[in-house]
Chains A and B, each alone.
Chain A
Amino acid sequence: MELGSILVTVVFALIFIGGLAFCFMHAGKVGEWED
């Protein structure tokens, strides 16, 4: 696998993990999770 492909894999995996982590960290701030 070429370096560019590896970098894209790592960066986008981090974006998705980070993005979903951000959402779940904020979940329940206003209402309860199980509404």
Chain B
Amino acid sequence: MVPLYKIFNISKRRNNLADTTRERWSSRTAFLFAAIGSAVGLGNVWRFPYMAYDNGGGAFLVAWMIGLLVLGIPWLMMEFGLGKMFQKGAPGAFAGIGRKWEWLGWWPVWVAFLIVAYYAVVIAWALRYAISSFTMQWGTGEAAAQSTGDFFYGTILNLSSGPTDFGGMEWLTLGMLGLIWIVLFIIMFKGANVIGKVAIYTVVIPWILLMVLLIRGLTLPGAMEGLNYYLNPDWSALLTGDIWFAAFSQIAFTLSVGMAGMYAYGSFLAKKADVNNNAMITGFANNATSFLAGFAVFSTLGFLASSLSVAVPDVADSGLGLAFITFPSAISMMPAANGFIGALFFLTLFFLGIDSAFFLAHGGVIAPLRDKFGGKLWKWTAGVSIVGFLAGAIFCTQAGLYWLDMVDRAVSFYGLLLTGALSCIVVGWFWKPQILRENLNATSDVKIGAWWDWLIKLVVPIALFFVMIYGGFMNDIPNAYEGYQVGPFNGSHILWLILGVGLIISFALQMVRTRGEEA
């Protein structure tokens, strides 16, 4: 590991960040940690364990690993590979395939920008909770454990009555958001060289913290009962569509593919670098982290259920509810060191989130913009950080949670799946995937065969469309998303509007001349 003080001590020598020179990872290790850090995020802790519990326990793990092998790793190879081959972020890579496809690289840039705008706010909430943990602001004991929802919706969010009732600004959250964007700027403005070194810390620290939480969880009464809900297999679930939907969606959302950033991360690799093995290591490390996180989460849920004398399904939850309501309840009920465990848990969320955030901002947004328009990296980084902060301010209002929910559904669900599926279709059917495969095999430790072409041509797009239709359109077309109403538009209209604006911007950017391109 490089000492932290050395990471930012960039000498005056001419480095690889000059305008005309591409950023480079300092080593393969740095790249791998950056890639693993981008993949491992909040979803590994707050989404995966619940999905496993809700879809047949151990049986889900089988479907999920199949999903990793046939969907996640091949898709990751494609994104890393196109970035490395064309030495560009997502729009440049698709422009390399054909100038008419550049928009397909810009659409996920829109997705990445909106995700990081609200993701940084979620990290800000985690920071607020970490600070609140030291004094156990939400209280200890059973009464406090039963009212953690009030603390989240009342004290932290001050949630209003609906998406158009903005109320006031939550200044403390906004301040935290500003602090997070300053941290992101400091990590990003020197480029991949520094990002890779910082990522080693932002990956290793949450692994250590997760291990501490795991050990604490396993030593609590009721832990084994919780683990049975997480792991005990119901093999009959494998015959249902739900488990495959859950497994494929988890894989699609967990690897940080479909958000433009992995193309840029691949483009910072030297042309002789390995891709296939790196993609496999990233995928396995990501899933192993999820598997481990499941033990920490369900052992704690088992304890909570036991201490409240209820069944585990009564306390099992996912997403924001797990992180900011259920887990604080469990922390309230712990026999000792509540504040310390609380701080550890929310710092884990902070570290899990921060490397995904700089991946989204730098790989997903800054690198593609700089590829297109040129200019100094620090200026683009400052610009995107300021705009990202301003865009995130809406999620710091009292209506922030409603907007976060809609934007998340629009980009993190539909945007990611749609752009991912279309990307695979373009590479598979409108280009020649064997060109990419041969390029990958020429420099990779592990060779892939023609089967990979068919995974990109058929399996990945079909799986993504299946998730999109089964888990999305079938509900959001006939019904207003979550019953939201914003003026004349309902919640679903807002989703299509967000996606549509992104598509229009993408085509507009395609029409703009790229720096260095002949008129």
Contacts and interface: CB of A to CB of B under 8 A. Distances in A.
A-B interaction:
yes
Interface of A: 1-2, 4-5, 7-9, 12-13, 15-16, 19-20, 23-24, 26-31, 33-35
Most B C-beta atoms less than 10 A away, residue of A2, A20, A23 = A23
B58 A26 contact: no
Contact of B61 (A8, A19, A29, A34): A8
B444 A35 contact: no
B280 A15 contact: no
Interface in B211-252: 224, 227-228, 230-233
A1 B287 contact: no
Given A19-B284, A26-B446, A5 B227 contact: yes
Given A1-B224, A4-B233, A16 B444 contact: no
A20 B285 contact: yes
B274 A30 contact: yes
Nearest to B59: A8
Contact of A30 (B281, B287, B444): B444
Given A4-B58, A35-B272, A26 B277 contact: yes
A9, A29, A33, A35: residue with the most chain B Cβ atoms closer than 10 Å: A35
B52 to A, nearest CB: 10
A8 B57 contact: yes
Given A5-B227, A5-B232, A8-B58, A23 B28 contact: no
Interface string B250-281: 00000000000000000001101110010011
Given A5-B232, A23-B280, A31-B443, A16 B287 contact: yes
A1 B445 contact: no
Contacts of A7: 58
B39 to A, nearest CB: 14
A14 to B, nearest CB: 11
Interface of B: 27-29, 57-58, 61, 65, 224, 227-228, 230-233, 269-270, 272-274, 277, 280-281, 284-285, 287-288, 291, 443-446
B440 to A, nearest CB: 11
A35 B287 CA distance: 26
A34 B30 CA distance: 9
Given A23-B277, A29-B445, A35-B28, A12 B272 contact: no
Contacts, number: 77
Nearest to A17: B288
Given A1-B228, A20-B288, A35-B28, A30 B270 contact: no
Contacts of A29: 445
Contacts of B446: 23, 26
A8 B59 CA distance: 9
Nearest to A16: B288
Contacts of A19: 280, 284
A26 B445 CA distance: 6
B258 to A, nearest CB: 23
22 contacts: A2-B232, A5-B232, A8-B57, A8-B232, A9-B231, A16-B287, A16-B288, A19-B280, A20-B285, A23-B284, A23-B446, A26-B445, A26-B446, A27-B277, A30-B443, A30-B445, A31-B272, A31-B274, A31-B445, A34-B27, A35-B27, A35-B269
> Which of A4, A27, A29, A30 has the most chain B CB atoms inside 10 A of its CB?
A30
A20 B289 CA distance: 12
Contacts of A5: 57-58, 227-228, 230-232
Nearest to A11: B58
Contacts of A2: 228, 232
B285 A27 contact: no
A5 B53 CA distance: 12
A35 B445 CA distance: 13
Contacts of B227: 1, 5
A34 B445 contact: no
Contact of A35 (B231, B273, B280): B273
